[in-house]
Amino acid sequence: MVSSEKPPSYLVRVMECKQGAVRAVRFNVDGEYCLTCGSDKSVKLWNPHKGTLLHVYAGHGYEVLDARGSCDNSLICSCGMDKSVMIWNVSTGESMRKFRGHAARVNCLAFNEESTVILSGSMDGTVRVWDLRSRRYDPIQILDEAKDSVMTVQVSTPLILTASLDSYTRIYDLRNGQLISNCIGEGVTCASFSGDGQCVLTSTMNSSLKLMDKDTGELLSQYSGHISKDYKVESCFTQSDTHVLSGSEDGNVYCWDLVQSTLASRLQHKGSSVVHSLSPHPSQPFLLTASLGQVWLWSSHSTEDDECS
């Protein structure tokens, strides 16, 4: 069933972040703002719809690899190659806490739904769960089942989804106390739940994008055309789950119809070679992509429509 929802295909804005390479770009919880993680050790808070820089959070010791905003927009959590996870006060810009414990660089982050817990996945093969309510500085739990670098952590409330380079995706079911691990066959660079939580989209290193059933681990669909071999290229669903998006190492973002797995569109990023980070707007058809030092905002409506509205 193909919905009439159009994938984001119009370029709205390109923002030069001026923070070295942008390692990741993330919408905040309501999609009003976005965070960019720079290789110059800073996290920047933007209003992507206006293209304005709001704040710079500096304090990491090395490149920042991922950042997330909490559900109440009061906190920003970032992680990076300095093996630490930092919590920032959004308004004051000061770092509130710093969690140390990972043995290698921290690749990815996720808040839980209430932002009481942070999950951080690291190259040391562990996901550490840090408590924000208490003043503990040691993790609540360490999910060390992965045998290689953990690339993605996602939370969908009773479930924690991790993807690691040992070619497994793992779903930790908190309610049932189960760990469901699925072998994908290649190092998984990105995995994400679909909007309805029934499917898992996995990007692997051999340029393939697979839609898997969450429960059975069966292959539902496969998307190809993009290139993902060397980098941590992210993929995502559109907010309405009609399309599947993936970055590519040829400077495009590929957009497939989810059901028919046909290539719907290609978002060309002129002048950039690798588009590695994607962030779909949580509710509206916007898409943020990051190539080298730039962040691109895409919309499903043309800019004229936006201006009219």
Partner 1 sequence: MSDSDDDEDFAYYGTPVEQLDEDESIPRKAPRLEDQIAKDKQGRRRFHGAFTGGFSAGYFNSVGTKEGWTPSTFVSSKGQRAETKRVKPQDFMDDEDLGVFGISPQVIQATSNFDSNRDQVQRKRVLDPSGPIPGIPVLEEILRPASETVGVKLLRRLGWRPGQGVGPRVSRQQKRLSKKEKKRMYGCQGPQGGDVGNNSSDGDSCDSDNNTESKITFAPDDVDTLLLPQAKHNTFGMGYIPLDRTPVLGVAASLLNPTPLSFTEKKKKVLIRGQAFGVGAFEDVDDDIYATEDMSIYDFGEDKKQNSEKRDKNAYSQQDKAMFGLTEALKGFKLSSKPHNCIKSYPWPTLPSDFIPLHKPRRRRFERKENELQGLGRHDMTVKQRARSIEEQPKAVVEIRSGVKGYTPKVPPQNVMQKKSEKTLDTSEVDQLYEEFKSSEKKLGSDFKPFSKDPEKQKRYELYLRMKEKGQKGQFYLAQPRGMTEWEKEREVREFARAAQLFQPLTTTMATRFVTASVSDALPQLKDGLNVNVPKVDKTNAGSEEIALLARDTDDDQMKAARMKMYGQMTQTTQDWYPDRLLCRRFNVPNPFPESSFVGLRKTKKEKFSLFGMMNAEIEDTAGLQKPRHKSEQKIDVEEATHQEDGILEDHPETYGLKVPVDGPPTMDLFKAIFQDSDSDTDDDDKKTDDTKPTHKNVEAYHGTANLLPQKLTVLDENEENKSPVTEIQEDPVSRFLSSIRSDQGKQNNADNVTEKRKIDGRRKRVSRFEPQAEDGVHNIQYPNCPSLEPSISIQDSSQSTEQSNFRADLPKPVFVPKKKESVATKPTPSKGIFANVDFSALNSLWNSEASSSQETSTLNNIDQIQPKPGVENSLAEVKGAAHREVDSDSSTDPESEYGPAVPSHLRHQAQMVRSVPTTSVDLVQKLGEKHREKLNYSGWVEKNEGKEKKASKKHKHRDKHKHKKEKRKKEKKSKSHKEKKKKKKKQKHISSSSSSDSSPQSSE
Least CB distance from residue 144 to partner 1, whole Å?
Answer: 6
Q: How far is the CB of 306 from partner 1 (least distance, A)?
A: 26
Identify the residue whose tokens are 């990007």: 203
Residues 233-292 that bind partner 1 (CB under 8 A): 240-242, 258-261
Q: Hey, what are 278's tokens?
A: 């994607």
Q: Both tokens of residue 124?
A: 């040391």
CB-nearer residue toward partner 1: 78 or 167: 167
Q: Which is nearer to partner 1, 222 or 273 (CB)?
A: 222
16, 218, 230, 305: which one binds partner 1 (CB under 8 A): 218
Do the Cβ atoms of 230 and 221 come closer than 8 Å? no
Q: Which is nearer to partner 1, 285 or 293 (CB)?
A: 285
Using the rule CB under 8 A, which residue among 16, 30, 114, 306 binds partner 1? 114
198 to each of 128, 133, 204, how far by Cα in Å? Answer: 25, 30, 19
Greatest distance between any 2 Cα atoms in the chain? 52
Considering the rule CB under 8 A, would residue 140 count as an interface residue with partner 1?
yes
What's the CA gap between 154 and 166, in Å, rounded? 17
Of the pair 182, 246, the CB lying nearest partner 1 is at 182
Per CB under 8 A, the list member of 16, 30, 213, 306 interacting with partner 1 is: 213
Distance CA 18, CA 243 (A): 31
The neighbouring-strand residues paired with 75 are 89
CA distances from 182 to 161, 179, 218 (A): 11, 10, 9
Q: How many residues bind partner 1 (CB under 8 A)?
A: 59
135 binds partner 1, rule: CB under 8 A: no
Do 159 and 178 touch, CB atoms closer than 8 A? no
Task: Kindly tell me which residue out of 36, 182, 252, 299 binds partner 1, with binding defined by CB under 8 A.
Answer: 182
Interaction of residue 185 with partner 1, rule CB under 8 A: yes
Spacing of C-alpha 54 from chain mean position: 21
Whose Cβ is closer to partner 1: residue 100's or residue 147's? 147
Q: Which is nearer to partner 1, 34 or 127 (CB)?
A: 127
- CA 43/CA 66 separation, integer angstroms: 9
SS3 197: coil
- Residues forming the site for partner 1 (CB under 8 A): 1, 3, 112-114, 116-117, 125, 129, 131, 133, 140-145, 147, 157-158, 167, 172-186, 194-196, 198-199, 210, 212-213, 215-222, 240-242, 258-261
